[in-house]
Structure 1
Amino acid sequence: MVKMGVIAYDNCYLSSLSGPMDAFQVANAYSCRQLGPSGTQFSWNTVSITGEPVKTSGGISIATDMSIANADVFDLIYLPAFPYQGALAMDKMAEELRPLLDWLVVQWKRGATLVTICTGGFLMAETGLLDGREATTTWWLEKQFHKRYPNVKLNSRAMITEQDRLMCAGAMTSYQNMAVHLIERYATADLAIQCAKAMLIDTSVSAQSPYQNLLMDEASGDPVVAKAQYWLQNHAKENIDQAELAQKMGVSQRTLIRRFKAELDLTPLNYLQNIRIETAKQLLENTTLPLIEVTEHVGYTDISSFSRLFKQRTGLTPAAYRQRFKAKEA
């Protein structure tokens, strides 16, 4: 039997805390139905720093089974997510949870596998254990994570990463994907499939990239870059040359590229491509335009080249993206 410690702390998301336990309860029910009472695969206890109840971000109080000082030895330790409120709030939270973070390091060194999802990745990174290792987090906090933890090999496109008994999953509801992954890992693939079907978990989703907004948080404080962004957004369908764009902005091409990279970690051409991809997403979601017309509308003439770029950035072909995200008619 796999023994799990589920960490509870003030201001964590309730669904992130309880969701995996629900999935393991379903797994145990199916396993016991097949194998009898001895078929239980997972057990868990809730753990907090002091053993006292904690209040989740939604204001619901949760009782816990034990403190970190009195905790058992666990095979898995699961760390839920929380509402990210900026760098200063993260500093304060890391300081308040330092006893817990230090305890996690000790447990990992003793052989436990540490598991987290979404913003819980920030807390796992605070332990220092992710330095030099691959990890993921919620896609919309990619830049904040990379800035705070530059030594972590962040892969925000991934739904789940795993290295050296450190497992991370992507945005909010990825606890479902993580739970199925753990059931498969520690029980059987057949049991994981049964649970996924029972809980309506789409196991075909293996990446966050289809959900990412490629233009999120891209406003620049650099006046030249901001001016170029505005110009590109209003001329995205045109055939744009970087040298010509630089001339319009009153700087050299080399300077424009350097300033774009410094501000957005993108070249002007990459930024233009992202504008076009996001425009295409909207058309695929909200219209029935044929792909050739979508392609032309966003400034491309070669449907094959556009489709390759679209799949490279989103992980899906345009047709697959439309099938998954097309708005339902009222």
Structure 2
Amino acid sequence: MSEEFPVIKVAVLATDNVYGGNLMTCRDILYGIKWRAERLPGPKLDFELISINGADVVTYSGATISCDGEMDDRAWDVIILPHLWMGINELAELHRQIGPWLEPYLRNRKLVLSMGCGVYWVAAAGYLNGSEATTYWRQHDDFAQLFPEVSWQKDKAITESDNIYCAAGGNSMGDLMLNLAIRLFGESVARGISRDILFDIRRSYDFAPLRMGSQRSHGDRLIEQVQAWLESRYSEEVRLADVAKNHGMSLRNFARRFSSATGEKPLAYLQRVRLEAARDLLVHSDKSIKHISLDVGYSDSSYFCRLFRTQIGQTPAAYRKQFSD
């Protein structure tokens, strides 16, 4: 008798005026993830493009795209909200059914990926109040005016808050999908997607903190601030005593509180952020290993290589090679 594995169900919500390239790229990457997951022991993937009533949708450029199903009461594990090409006033009038349908997923902290203006319904539901978010740059000021309690980050390509991810553009959308592969199916599946589809992306932002996002749902806002600080300053010399002092804690209390919230000691967390950044640079840049070591905060490249091998299980050179074979 063959072993049965759980099936992770993903819904990609399609509406009229959707940006067709965004919608179909999500579909293509999900297909790639599904294809690879089926060839490995472990969870499987099922996904559908869904529309309000299951009907075809017309993209902003006039193309017609068929959908697989409708926006009903089926249970989904992941919701993806692609970018729409329209003004914010039009968004407010479009498909008022989406907000009530989406609300239980937000309330139960299901994984929600919003692309560009797809973040509208998340912000309108209030689940980004007090948190960072990003959106398509042309609509940033309108969103900031309509939802002033959200911390809109015009210069950030990706944000994450309580399992809600936002991507501002095409390249960051691809990285968001790659992060989905990592979270759901691990490195081997994500490696195949990165090599086959996303290898040529050269980012203007760090991908490493995105991989750490799932460790920020503990609810300790002060430690979340420390995590964000570490994730933005990992390339610098970091003294944990200074980090604790700058955030109003003794070193002992800081270490205890950080470990309680994240399940990891501060130094181990910092090392992991640095190694995630190094992994990204090994795949998506042509920099030498010595240069990468400096970029992620290690002046001693020999120590960096030993740490990388201990934590990742292979040398930096071997890790890079598997993406180029």
Q: TM-score, normalised by structure 2?
A: 0.56
Aligned residue for 2:97, secondary structure, equals helix
2:237 aligned residue:
none
1:72 aligned residue:
74
Q: CA deviation at 1:50?
A: 1.8
2:276 aligned residue:
none
Matches within 5 A, 1:1-330: 1-33=7-39, 35=40, 41-68=44-71, 70-85=72-87, 90-202=88-200, 205=203, 207=205
Provide runs of 4+ in structure 1 moved above 4 Å.
Answer: none
Q: Which amino acid aligns with 1:64?
A: C
Aligned residue for 2:203, secondary structure, equals coil
Aligned residue for 1:30, secondary structure, equals helix
CA RMSD in angstroms, aligned pairs only: 2.3
**Distance in 2 (alpha carbons) for counterparts of 1:59 and 1:135:** 29
Equivalent pair of 1:6/1:79 in contact (CA under 8 Å)? yes
Q: Which amino acid aligns with 1:187?
A: F
Equivalent pair of 1:157/1:207 in contact (CA under 8 Å)? no
Q: Summarize deviations over 1:255-287 as a string: whole Å, max 9, x none.
A: xxxxxxxxxxxxxxxxxxxxxxxxxxxxxxxxx
**Distance in 1 (alpha carbons) for counterparts of 2:99 and 2:55:** 17
Q: Which amino acid aligns with 1:21?
A: R
1:244 aligned residue:
none
**Distance in 2 (alpha carbons) for counterparts of 1:44 and 1:27:** 10
Q: CA deviation at 1:40?
A: 6.3
**Distance in 1 (alpha carbons) for counterparts of 2:127 and 2:145:** 17
Q: Summarize deviations over 1:165-199 as a string: whole Å, max 9, x none.
A: 21111123432111101111111123212211111
Which 5+ residue runs of structure 2 have no aligned equivalent? 1-6, 207-325
Which one has a bigger Cα radius of gyration? 1
Equivalent pair of 2:83/2:114 in contact (CA under 8 Å)? yes
Which 5+ residue runs of structure 1 have no aligned equivalent? 209-330
**Distance in 1 (alpha carbons) for counterparts of 2:19 and 2:189:** 27
Q: Which amino acid aligns with 1:31?
A: A
Q: CA deviation at 1:17?
A: 1.2
**Distance in 1 (alpha carbons) for counterparts of 2:173 and 2:114:** 8
**Distance in 1 (alpha carbons) for counterparts of 2:61 and 2:42:** 35
**Distance in 2 (alpha carbons) for counterparts of 1:206 and 1:98:** 36
**Distance in 1 (alpha carbons) for counterparts of 2:161 and 2:114:** 13
Q: Sequence identity, in percent?
A: 27
Q: How many residues align?
A: 200
1:295 aligned residue:
none
